[in-house]
Chains A and B, each alone.
Chain A
Amino acid sequence: DSGVTQTPKHLITATGQRVTLRCSPRSGDLSVYWYQQSLDQGLQFLIQYYNGEERAKGNILERFSAQQFPDLHSELNLSSLELGDSALYFCASSGGRVTNYGYTFGSGTRLTVV
């Protein structure tokens, strides 16, 4: 157990629907990162939050949004889902705004859009 908890582990939904992925960071970590991993794209950075504030944005689609709550857990919202959104979504956490010691990743949420 890495200490980063992601729920649900698996999600199957239809095109056009909206889903929410949840992440609880490792105890004491203030930064949360979301990554998407697909077979052809590898791990792609989506967004980072630090202590409730958005800090960095990557290749995140406008249909996707995220937030970090006062208790530091984070949610990634995916809407108007398309078949191409099927992927593994990972959350990671670290102690500070900039990490020199690597992230700690969760076990991921596998999203299948049918």
Chain B
Amino acid sequence: EDQVTQSPEALRLQEGESSSLNCSYTVSGLRGLFWYRQDPGKGPEFLFTLYSAGEEKEKERLKATLTKKESFLHITAPKPEDSATYLCAVQGRGTSYGKLTFGQGTILTVHP
């Protein structure tokens, strides 16, 4: 069964203080690894899809990287508006159709 573990559970940063979020996964053949952002009371918002080890994607202050066992979401010079829960999910080749398995998320708080 596919599994996703995210760490840390919560992260507090000062504005401008760069850091990384971790997503460790086990999957029977990775079809894709997904990062989402979720604001309180709202649905998750799609950020990135990574398909193979070594792949990197960037969007504004966010950069996602992928290895065979984990993914990192690097946040460079964060701003208070980056505060949210960041979710990682995987889709395995053995997975029925489009099912994604999500981690518990990392709650990021950026203080001004």
Contact = CB atoms under 8 A, between A and B. Distances in A.
Interface residues of B, number: 26
Given A97-B97, A103-B98, A42 B43 contact: no
A56 B99 contact: yes
A33 B45 contact: no
A57 B99 CA distance: 9
B44 interface: yes
Interface string B78-112: 00000000010101000111111111110000000
Candidate in B41, B98, B101 with the most chain A CB atoms within 10 angstroms: B98
Interface of A: 2, 4, 31, 33, 42-45, 48, 50, 55-58, 90, 92, 94, 96-108, 110
Interface of B: 31-32, 34, 36, 41-46, 49, 51, 87, 89, 91, 95-105
7 contacts: A4-B43, A56-B96, A98-B98, A101-B46, A103-B46, A105-B43, A107-B43
